């Protein structure tokens, strides 16, 4: 395992911890590495039940990643309406949806060639 892959694995684990800390639901990891011309290596996707929870998940991920890995997202979008927040950590992009928006966009199907792993934090 290369240093970059090890740090990407650490980042993914820390992001999932941040999501789980505030009870984010239906967490999935999409591995995009075998798909040509992708913008990143992984998507982490989860669901929040309200604007407040989507914001809480986003804040928790930023806080935990900053504290444990001394990293911050390159960009964050969607915090204005908190229906779909996208957090860009370059190799890993986090999508935090409210359920109705996640169902509507169904990005898991759009990236059907990706290896999808259901995450069930302890």
Tokens 């199907």, residue located: 109
Please give the residue range of the domain that contains residue 113.
Answer: 3-119
CATH of the domain at 83: 3.30.460.10
- Alpha carbons 33 and 39: distance in angstroms, whole number: 10
Which tens digit of pLDDT belongs to each residue from 1-44? 444 555 999 999 999 999 999 999 999 999 999 998 899 999 99
pLDDT at 1: 43
User: Is the distance from CB of 91 to CB of 40 less than 8 angstroms?
Assistant: yes
Give the chain's domain count: 1
User: Is the distance from CB of 97 to CB of 25 less than 8 angstroms?
Assistant: no
Which tens digit of pLDDT belongs to each residue from 57-107? 999 999 999 999 999 999 999 999 999 999 999 999 999 999 999 999 999
pLDDT at 2: 46
Give the predicted TM-score (pTM) of the model.
0.92
Cβ-based neighbours of 91, under 8 Å, separated by 6 or more = 4, 8, 11, 40, 41, 42
């Amino acid at each position: 395992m290369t240093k970059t892959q090890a740090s990407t694995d650490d980042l993914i684990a820390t992001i999932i911890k941040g999501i789980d800390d505030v009870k984010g639901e239906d967490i999935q990891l999409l591995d995009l590495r075998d798909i040509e011309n992708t913008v990143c290596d992984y998507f982490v996707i989860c669901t929040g039940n309200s604007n407040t929870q989507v914001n809480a998940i986003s804040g928790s991920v930023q806080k935990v990643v900053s504290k444990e890995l001394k990293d911050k997202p390159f960009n964050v979008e969607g915090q204005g309406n908190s229906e779909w927040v996208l957090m860009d950590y370059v190799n890993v992009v986090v999508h935090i949806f409210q359920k109705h928006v996640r169902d509507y966009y169904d990005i898991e199907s759009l990236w059907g060639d990706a290896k999808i792993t259901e995450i069930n934090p302890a």
